[in-house]
Structure 1
């Protein structure tokens, strides 16, 4: 096996993926799933291996390069960017599994595609000799149609209470139900996973609190920060790309209308800096994670910055959408598509401003 040195500054080469995503964005939206060519391109770009430990040939890369790549792809197709980002993020979660499980997942190479449905935990795990029996339904597993493995969170009775564990299950052991009917991010194929009583060996599980801790000796920086510091930042990346793409779409399709339409001019003048401001917020937050700033105030700051970035994206695309006049009535209008994508993505629980603001206020004010 050829190992790739740990490189937090490693940049993902998204040139081919951006081109494919742009060409097929409308088709992906209509079919509600990615094209296989786009999945191959996101693998070639390095998303699945981005956080994979170097021992298994991964990059163990940084958060800022991932956010930068997500934004670039999101400008072409937010659904493709969403899946690509999550394939990377789920590799980071899988790195917390015991070594035997990591060997099973990455022993043949670091480009394993991992889908997940971990928040909120949905299934029930019953202890049995050698592991657990896992059953239940887990919704919103983006990209699951192309996954090799799926990470699922379930509750386990622990003494008088319950704990949450994450389980790694081969995709071939899962039933996937075609349930994704959202208005936006249609192409993510964020479907439902069903297990009716699947045996999961003990080594393919990790307790959820492990993802929230730090101080893992000998681990790469990307594996030594809590989930709460980085999750919302990664979710927001494709939305910033979508907002920037909407600005570009308005410029490219305005023609002679823009100079003579004051509403269109004002929409562009206000939405463009909003999208750029959202981008800057994410880069700052990702930089804190790469520098290993893991105190409670920084965690709260990152959550809040990502939520505000998502709100800025919503504001930007709302204004552009309204200024389009009759153009937005067509479902295949690119600005309408991005408007739908941003609203759907911003509704994710990790990007809700109210809980993020509460956490920030408590961290700052004590």
Structure 2
């Protein structure tokens, strides 16, 4: 694979997108992605996109990963979610000390990392050489397919230097099937369990360093050094962008059929709704493109750029959710049928859009904080 904007192999990405699309309906029904979809995502290079360079990282850009994840999302939002998290969890691993990075990536760039900062009842007792870790972590997407997990010692709080992230191998954790939701059903975001696992010091880092993008020298690249909330919105917004584009295509097909009866009378209204949704989706894509370009081009050093990125990503998702609502309404009763993909997309987009990282209100408060402090 080449680096930068051409990080991925186009053929492998097309194969992964095709597998995701073909398996989307059955994945939604079963509540898990099919193994062939998971393998295709790995073959497309999502695991190595942001892996540290010394551990086989592909040197991807935020723009390239966003575009590739959205392409998967046009077929299956849950598959795109997993692909995106694999990429961004690889980025998180750059904050480990060198020995820890080498151990986590020992099997190569195909290593599958999951993460959770939603800690529940965690005990991290300091022992000789590290910690004894026990606890539960919620919403660990892709845990069934994981090689390693990055787990916080407590729910993160800005500026709190006591909260650590631990790298735990597959043989030290299990999972409990707890994910049963209206949308994003196939992400497999189950509860991860650890019981008295030893974590050496070199397999841990301070969460606040990741928040600020403060890397251990000489690890990582500018992509790794980006502050968490300056780029974290891309992780979860890119699958939604792909899903919204899929919904737009469904309505294009819907409008291409000659209407009759009440549908004929509402045809102009439907065309207007479709056009507005298309504009909203394009506008969201442009916002996300600016978020990625700012991070890729070194623009995060500019005053206010990081909080603007966070603002833009959350607003983009609001636009996408609204667009899918319009499109869902256009398809009417047909789109609500359990056999119709529109209702799955509608459920997925609303579920994904509720993620904590995509809420506009905290982003807006952070964006305006400079005005209050001035």
Same fold (TM over 0.5): yes
| Aligned residue in 1 for 2:300 | 294
- 1:227 Cα shift? 1.1
Partners in 2 of 1:325 and 1:213 — Cα distance? 46
1:73-95 CA deviation, whole Å, 9 max, x = no partner? Answer: 11111110010000000000011
| Contact 2:51–2:57, Cα closer than 8 Å, also in 1 | yes
- 1:233 Cα shift? 1.9
Query: Number of residue pairs matched?
Result: 358
User: Is 1:59 matched with 2:64?
Assistant: no
1:191-246 CA deviation, whole Å, 9 max, x = no partner? Answer: 11012322211111111011123464553121121111111122100001111110
| Contact 1:300–1:363, Cα closer than 8 Å, also in 2 | no
Partners in 1 of 2:104 and 2:234 — Cα distance? 26
1:29-69 CA deviation, whole Å, 9 max, x = no partner? Answer: 11111111111111111100001122222212211100011
Instruction: Return the match for 1:267 from 266, 269, 273.
Output: 273
1:243-298 CA deviation, whole Å, 9 max, x = no partner? Answer: 11100011124422387622321221111111111111101101101112224511
| Contact 2:229–2:306, Cα closer than 8 Å, also in 1 | yes
1:121-174 CA deviation, whole Å, 9 max, x = no partner? Answer: 762311111111112111111111101111110149xxxx97110011112221
Any residues of structure 2 matched to 1:306-317 within 5 Å, and which?
Answer: 306-317=313-324
| Aligned residue in 1 for 2:130 | 131
| Contact 2:120–2:138, Cα closer than 8 Å, also in 1 | no
| Aligned residue in 2 for 1:10 | 6
| Contact 1:304–1:353, Cα closer than 8 Å, also in 2 | yes
Q: Give the gaps of 5 or more residues in structure 2.
A: none
Report the 3-state secondary structure (helix = DSSP H, G, I; strand = E; otherwise coil) of the residue aligned with 2:90. Answer: helix
Partners in 2 of 1:338 and 1:23 — Cα distance? 14
| Aligned residue in 2 for 1:326 | 333
User: Is 1:238 matched with 2:239?
Assistant: yes
Once structures 1 and 2 are overlaid, which stretch shifts more, 118-127 or 263-272? Answer: 118-127
Partners in 2 of 1:263 and 1:173 — Cα distance? 56
Partners in 1 of 2:83 and 2:254 — Cα distance? 28
Any residues of structure 2 matched to 1:91-102 within 5 Å, and which?
Answer: 91-102=90-101
Report the 3-state secondary structure (helix = DSSP H, G, I; strand = E; otherwise coil) of the residue aligned with 1:223. Answer: coil
| Aligned residue in 2 for 1:256 | 258
Instruction: Return the match for 1:345 from 338, 346, 352.
Output: 352
Partners in 2 of 1:150 and 1:214 — Cα distance? 20
| Contact 1:121–1:164, Cα closer than 8 Å, also in 2 | no
Kindly report the root-mean-square deviation, in angstroms, between the aligned alpha carbons of the 2 structures: 2.0
Once structures 1 and 2 are overlaid, which stretch shifts more, 265-274 or 278-287? Answer: 265-274
Any residues of structure 2 matched to 1:125-274 within 5 Å, and which?
Answer: 125-155=124-154, 163-214=162-213, 216=215, 218=218, 219-254=220-255, 255-257=257-259, 261-274=267-280
| Aligned residue in 1 for 2:287 | 281
Give the direction of change, closer, same or farther, for the CA distance of 1:162–1:228 in structure 2 (3 Å limit): closer
Q: Give the gaps of 5 or more residues in structure 1.
A: none
Partners in 2 of 1:53 and 1:94 — Cα distance? 7
| Contact 2:97–2:203, Cα closer than 8 Å, also in 1 | yes
Once structures 1 and 2 are overlaid, which stretch shifts more, 76-85 or 258-267? Answer: 258-267
Partners in 1 of 2:277 and 2:191 — Cα distance? 35
TM-score normalised per structure 2 = 0.91
Partners in 2 of 1:176 and 1:314 — Cα distance? 31
| Contact 2:41–2:83, Cα closer than 8 Å, also in 1 | yes
| Contact 1:212–1:227, Cα closer than 8 Å, also in 2 | yes
- 1:364 Cα shift? 5.3
